[in-house]
Structure 1
Amino acid sequence: MKIRPFKALRPAPDLASMVACLPYDVMNTEEAAKMAEGNPHSFLHVIRSEIDLPQASNQYDQQVYEQAQKNLDSMIKKHTLIQDKSPSFYLYRQCMDGRQQLGIVACHPIDDYENGLIKKHEFTRPEKEKDRIRHFDQCDAHTEPVFLTYRSEENFTGMIRQYAEENEPVYDFTTEDKIQHTLWVVSDKEWVQRMSETFKNNVEALYIADGHHRTASAAKIGLKRREENPDLDPNDESQFLMAVSFPQEDLYCMEYNRVVKDLNGMSVDELLARISQHFECEPVEKAYQPKEKHEFGMLLNNHWYRLIAKPHTYAENDVIQQLDVSILQNYLLQPILGILDPRTDKRIDFVGGIRGIEELERRVQNDMELAFSMYPTTIDDLLQVADEDKIMPPKSTWFEPKLRSGIFLHPFQEY
């Protein structure tokens, strides 16, 4: 596989911590406005630009995309964002709770995605794709990276770790959530060449961990521009997508828990009786976090239960059917609680593991009737699903820490 250096747009060093923000899709408009309040440098003014428009604005209005472009242009003119002069790779490290992940920021041919070398494990929704296409197209840049992973190997991973140990970073700051973010610029031509060759010789495939809509949108923009201009240079920046690629051993996938609004017309006793057909069900004294695969915690009527899936609920030789999210959906949420499509059913919501089991208890005390704590999907499961060209159920994975946006952009032009 090939990687390509690029001339990133990135913050002036003294502004990096103020520019950096969470990705566009982990918050709503109200939350984004609160996060950016009092901070004109926040990159949320670009990726959630509706916060700078009247309250009535729909986030998919054309003026929202135009405002994003306007705000990006302003950040460039004010030198909040500055473009590197030579094509470079970037090493991005995040440290959280004593563990770290170090990856390379690079560009990848969109054809690698089209040809299945960059592998997916999720469906994308047309309306979300269209949103990112319009945003990237209007900004003439990939404003946020895709989050990729690759199978464990020693040569390339060892090389980027060596570089990070031996060279000074350009940014090193800690955000309010106590996550440390460090960035190195690799502009030396010899190092760029070495990294390119070592990656090419040791990484056979890349896997989307997070950012399926960004990946699909980047590919479609590139194809669209190719169609519009048959003489387009194959090295035009629009023909490449920007991503951060981490080795699989660095990634931390947390559980993605479920909360449900009602018992589908059943009493507590009726529900427990039906659940016991497919799960061993025993009450426990306190909040239960599953210890292994095929275990679940359930909060119902102010009591916690430990559920263990019975053997008939999963097929060990089927990577999709043996996923805990599949077992819960196929044998409890759908047949018992009547949740046919978790993507669209308003009776179910999802709670990332970073919020803790306390968030499940809070939701059940407020707007929900029951909750399920999950065991995390493994990285190996994700890779196997992608290798078999299959699709995971929705909301199967929650990665932490989240990549920060605004630290590096991939512009389609030179400034």
Structure 2
Amino acid sequence: MATIRPFKAIRPTKDKAFFVASRSYEEYGPDELNAVLQHNPFSFLHIINPGFKFEKNITGKERFHLVRNRYLEFLEENIFQKDGEAGFYLYQIEKGDFKSLGFFCACSVEDYRNGTIKKHEDTIQQRETLFADYLHTVGFNAEPVLMTYPDNELINTIFQRKIQREPEYDFTSTDRVNHKLWRISYPEGIEKLQKAFEQMDSLYIADGHHRSASSNLLAEYRKAENKSHIGTEPYNYFMAYLIPESQIRIYEFNRMVKDLNGYATDEFLIQLDKHFIIEKRDDGLCRPKQKHEFSMYLEGDFYSLHLRQTHYTFTDALSHLDTQILFKTVLEPILDISDLRNDARISYGCGKDNLIRMKEGVDKGDFAVGFSLVPTTIEEIKAIADAGLVMPPKSTYIEPKLRSGLAIYEL
């Protein structure tokens, strides 16, 4: 049984939503970030980058306290306002032929602990602790965890009726993404949505494993501090964006390696021959077309690598995953890369033109070889999560990518 809870969001006033909404901080290059901070005083980036005001790079606890101060300033200046009624927040993102419709809600840390909320990635303890300390100081959650649920006719009917009405926000950002937000605050709608999710056995984290783990850690901190803890306090929940499985897009990450671990090209190909049927291609950019097929770019040539299933043993859901197959047949035994997260010899690429960028990187000599894979599927993610297994790093790049600042959950 999955528990969802409405909340009173802190949101920008309608006339400022366009100016407040920001992409993830990591997506901005230095020049673009500086331009936004210089020319848009309402951007949410001012809250999470408070050192700009003092022309100083501020880190650690000092930054956390200043983030809190900037947040309070946005409230005091009525850039942000708090809703008077608790609700769910329906949020639609549309660009080109891609449209996603999900909603912001509060999810239970208890569901995370008991496995109702399922994960497929490992987290790093240091990052968990750092972000939990951040949340503890700033007192709000502005980065929702992206989670999926099975497509549901009742939920979809409620949403389709709601989006016929005028949205609270309707704007197009400069990257040509249209954003619309509606508030569902009527008791009947809230109750129907809660009951629908009570019928679901599981929710699946698509993006935000560290945010989930940190929210769980924060709840432990706050519980220890609160002698009157009863379990319904805001810190027992975290903000999530729930979306039907059919409305996410999953892209692949390429793998690019700086050297061949001492092998000459012909020696490397012979090593690969143990596990793959190798086909040299002469038809331009070569993308893999099916599971267990890989595209390799090496010394100016593309190759198709087809897994020899007689030389590879499938044992569980993880062993069927292409990123795991490449790791176990090539990266670890041949190229001597065992730490996919920290080894400086391997890099990853994603996005629309990632195959072209992979080729350019090899042609320039930045890398010796590149591998392209087909995207992981939602069924594979769920199978691995259900089995309590963990994917290799950089197995999925998932959209939609949400804007920050449109709905904030106070802790």
State the match for 1:134 in structure 2.
133
CA deviations 1:93-145 (Å, max 9, x no partner) are 11233121111211112111111111111100112212211221111011210
Shift of 1:39: 2.3
8 A Cα contact 1:53 1:64, kept in partner: no
Q: How far, CA to CA, are the matches of 1:100 and 1:49 in structure 2? A: 33
Q: Which moved more, 1:95-104 or 1:334-343?
A: 95-104
* Equivalent position of 2:117 in the other structure: 118
Deviation, 1:233, is 4.1
Confirm or deny: 8 A CA contact 1:29 1:51 kept in the other structure: no
Cα distance between partner residues in 2 of 1:93 and 1:332: 41
1:264-343 correspondence to structure 2 within 5 Å? 264-285=261-282, 286-312=284-310, 314-316=312-314, 318-343=316-341
- Provide, for residues 331-386 of structure 1, a one-character-per-residue CA deviation record: whole Å limited to 9, x for no partner: 11111111111111011111123443222123324422221111100000001111
Alignment of 1:135-214 (within 5 A): 135-164=134-163, 166-201=164-199, 203-214=200-211
Root-mean-square deviation (Å)? 2.1
Q: Residue 376 of structure 1 aligns to which amino acid in structure 2? A: P
CA distance in 1, matches of 2:36, 2:358: 24
Distance in 2, matches of 1:35 and 1:339, equals: 40
Extract unaligned runs of 5+ from structure 1. Answer: none
Asked if the contact 1:89–1:186 (Cα under 8 Å) also holds between the matched residues in 2, the reply is: yes
2: CA distance between counterparts of 1:36 and 1:146? 26
SS of residue matched to 1:42 = coil
Gaps of 5+ in 2: none
1:380 aligned partner: 379
- The change in CA–CA distance for 1:350 and 1:50 in structure 2 (over 3 A counts) is farther
Cα shift readout 1:167-223 (whole Å, capped 9, x = no counterpart) = 22111222233322211111222322222223323x221110000000011111112
Number of equivalenced pairs = 408
SS in 1 for 2:318: coil
2:254–2:354: 8 Å Cα contact kept in structure 1? Answer: no
Equivalent pair of 2:158/2:189 in contact (CA under 8 Å): no
Q: 1:27 to 1:382 in 2, by over 3 A?
A: farther
The offset of 1:240, in angstroms, is 0.8
Q: Kindly tell me: are residues 357 and 170 of structure 1, through their superposed partners in 2, closer, same or farther at Cα, counting changes over 3 Å? A: same
The aligned counterpart of 1:62 is 61
Alignment check: 8 A CA contact 1:136 1:143 kept = no
Task: Please give the secondary structure, in 2, of the residue aligned with 1:177.
Answer: coil
Per-residue deviation at 1:317?
A: 5.2
Conserved in 2, the CA contact under 8 Å of 1:258 and 1:349? yes
Q: Secondary structure in 2 aligned to 1:372? A: strand
Distance 1:31 1:297, change over 3 A: farther
- Distance in 1, matches of 2:337 and 2:28, equals 25
1:18 aligns with 2:13: no
Task: State the shift of 1:68 in Å.
Answer: 1.5
> How far is the alpha carbon of 1:256 from its aligned partner?
1.3
With the length of structure 1 as denominator, give the TM-score of the two structures. 0.92
CA shift for structure 1 position 31: 6.7
| Match status 1:260 vs 2:257 | yes
Letter in 1 for 2:299: N
CA distance in 2, matches of 1:328, 1:173: 42
Stretch moving more, 129-138 or 365-374: 365-374
Q: Which moved more, 1:6-15 or 1:366-375?
A: 366-375
User: Relative to 1, partners in 2 of residues 1:295 and 1:399: Cα closer, same or farther, differing over 3 Å?
Assistant: same
| Worse overlay, 47-56 or 289-298 | 47-56
Which whole-Å CA distance do the structure 1 matches of 2:310 and 2:31 have between them? 45
The 3 A distance-change label for structure 1 pair 312 and 68 is farther
Structure 1 pair 31/91, CA: closer, same or farther in 2 (3 Å)? same
In the alignment, the residues of structure 2 paired with residue 36 and residue 129 of structure 1 have an alpha-carbon distance, to the nearest angstrom, of 28
CA contact (8 A) 1:120 1:207 kept: yes
SS at match of 2:319: coil
Alignment partner, residue 83 of structure 2? 84
Q: Structure 1 residue 54: deviation in Å? A: 5.4
1:364 and 2:339 are equivalent in the alignment: no
1:246 aligned counterpart, secondary structure: strand
State the shift of 1:37 in Å.
Answer: 4.7
Task: Tell me how far apart the structure 1 counterparts of residues 43 and 270 of structure 2 sit (CA, whole Å).
Answer: 52
- Mapped to 2, the partners of 1:5 and 1:354 lie a distance apart of 36
Give the AA of the match of 1:115: N
Match of 2:390 in 1: 391
Q: How many Å separate the matches in 2 of 1:395 and 1:303?
A: 25
Q: Secondary structure at the match of 2:320?
A: coil
> Residue 127 and residue 50 in structure 1: after superposition, are their counterparts in 2 closer, same or farther (change >3 A)?
farther
Aligned pair 1:9/2:10, yes or no? Answer: yes
Q: Cα distance, 1:313 vs. partner?
A: 5.4
Q: Which residue of 2 aligns with 1:349?
A: 347
Report sequence identity in percent.
34
